[in-house]
């Protein structure tokens, strides 16, 4: 008869997990994956980790940036135990203090990993590590299949007045406070960045929270910077959000889907939210947007917003699917990054 897990088992595997977290933090601080790679009995992940660490070290050397300290905290999300085996889903909150040209800044991110551990005599071995690479998932929910079905994405005019979505649907045409801006509505970059820093690691309860939340989060930030919604009632057009009414999702694809937002910002228009595509990251300002095509295949899967700059004037960005705050813009420290990754840099004008 199989032996049931004992309290001693839990104490022992948690001790092994704690050691894993300490070695993870050392890897972040020293930019050397040797000790962690040797601790894990997963050759595939050891290679994956080494490649990421090498990219990070090379990039930071070119930037003239070095880690001045690192802290990693772990949160257990889910645990499945059996006699002699355990699998855990763990969230790692990483803080790295960076020094560059005599100045310091703090970058943060929260990564999620699945670990499988097995008892090996008196010890527990980390058999397998699987990073949860949420940035690679272009869809944002069960309704994503409707993205290609125009007939299901329209809001019938006769029912539109009956839909009562959650905040923050606003009709700017009815807001006289904006009427005085004959040249357009000022884009408040500092407000967009402040909102991004406030909600980088959690969801604003006034909005839906998606499994893949990066573009929804960036849209909220832009909206917080006074960008006017372009409400059309058609999910495949405009840039708008009304919330959920029953089972109906009342927001445009451009609000919540990375590729749709990139297409919307790329299109020419005279008023409202729009952007200019610039050639390099150092042309961006606070509140501007970067879209990421991980494989270079012409479809964008991730979106970030510029919230700060390093000592060299390069953007630091926030994101929300893998919560990130003041992360260096190129994402070479992400498992989603590939040698084929392409970027699109969007500068939002000062007047919308």
Sign of CA dihedral 173, 176, 177, 178: positive
> β-pairing, 302-309 with 65-82?
unpaired
151, two tokens: 């007939």
User: Has residue 311 got a pLDDT over 90?
Assistant: yes
Q: Residues of CATH 3.90.1720.10 domain(s) within the chain?
A: 134-352
- Position 8 scores a pLDDT of 54
Separation between Cα atoms, residue 257 and residue 148, nearest integer Å: 13
* Cα-only R_g, the chain: 22
- Top-confidence residue, 146 or 80: 80
Task: With CA atoms as reference, report the closest residue to 220 among 245, 247, 191, 249.
Answer: 191
Q: Is the pLDDT of residue 110 over 50?
A: yes
Q: What percent of the chain has pLDDT above 90?
A: 78
Confidence (pLDDT) at 151 = 27
| Distance from C-alpha of 16 to C-alpha of 321, rounded to nearest angstrom | 28
For range 120-129, the mean pLDDT: 94
Greater pLDDT, 294 or 156: 294
Judged by DSSP in three states, 154 sits in strand
In the chain, how many H helices and how many E strands? Answer: 8, 12
Q: How far is CA 337 from CA 52, 220, 330, 334, 343, in A?
A: 9, 25, 9, 6, 11
pLDDT, average across residues 9-18: 89
Q: Where in the chain is the domain with CATH 3.10.450.50?
A: 7-132
Bigger pLDDT: 12 vs 278? 278
Over the chain, what is the mean pLDDT?
87
pLDDT single digits (tens) 175-212: 444 444 456 899 999 999 999 999 999 999 999 999 89
Matching CATH number, 7-132, of 3.90.1150.10, 3.10.450.50, 3.30.300.130, 3.30.420.40: 3.10.450.50
Mean predicted confidence (pLDDT) in 8-37:
93
b/e map of 324-336 (b: 16 or more CB within 10 Å)? bbbbbbbbebbbb
Give the integer Cα–Cα distance in Å for 123 and 132.
Answer: 26
pTM to 2 decimal places: 0.85
* CATH tag for 134-352 (out of 3.40.47.10, 2.60.40.10, 3.90.1720.10, 3.60.15.10): 3.90.1720.10
The pLDDT of 56-64, averaged and rounded, is 96
């Amino acid at each position: 008869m199989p032996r049931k897990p004992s309290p001693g088992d839990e104490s022992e595997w948690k001790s092994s997990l704690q050691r894993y977290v300490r070695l993870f933090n050392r890897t972040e601080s020293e930019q050397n994956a040797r000790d962690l790679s040797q601790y894990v009995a997963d050759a595939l992940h050891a290679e994956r980790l080494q490649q990421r660490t090498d990219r990070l070290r090379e990039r930071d050397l070119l930037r003239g940036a070095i880690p001045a300290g690192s802290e990693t905290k772990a949160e257990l999300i889910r645990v499945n135990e059996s006699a002699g085996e355990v699998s855990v889903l763990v969230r790692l909150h990483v803080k790295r203090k960076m020094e560059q040209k005599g100045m310091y800044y703090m970058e943060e991110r929260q990564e999620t990993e699945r670990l499988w551990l097995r008892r090996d005599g008196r010890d527990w071995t980390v058999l397998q590590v699987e990073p949860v690479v949420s940035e690679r998932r272009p869809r944002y929910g069960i309704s994503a299949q409707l993205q290609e079905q125009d007939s299901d994405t329209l809001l019938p005019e006769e029912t539109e007045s009956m839909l009562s979505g959650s905040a923050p649907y606003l009709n700017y045409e009815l807001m006289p406070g904006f009427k005085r801006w004959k040249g357009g509505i000022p884009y408040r970059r500092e407000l967009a960045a402040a909102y991004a820093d406030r909600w980088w690691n959690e969801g604003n309860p006034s909005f839906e929270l998606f499994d893949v939340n990066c573009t929804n989060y960036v849209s909220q930030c832009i909206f917080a910077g006074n960008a006017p919604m372009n409400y059309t009632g058609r999910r495949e057009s405009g840039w708008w959000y009304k919330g959920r009414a029953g089972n109906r999702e009342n927001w445009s694809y451009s609000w919540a889907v990375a590729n749709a937002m990139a297409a919307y910002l790329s299109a020419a228009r005279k008023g409202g939210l729009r952007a200019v595509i610039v050639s390099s990251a150092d042309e961006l300002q606070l509140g501007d947007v970067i879209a990421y095509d991980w494989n270079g295949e012409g479809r964008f899967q991730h979106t970030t917003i510029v919230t700060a700059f390093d000592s060299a004037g390069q953007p630091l960005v926030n994101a929300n699917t893998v919560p990130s705050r003041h992360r260096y813009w190129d994402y070479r420290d992400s498992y989603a990054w590939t040698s084929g990754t392409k970027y699109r840099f969007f500068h939002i004008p000062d007047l919308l």
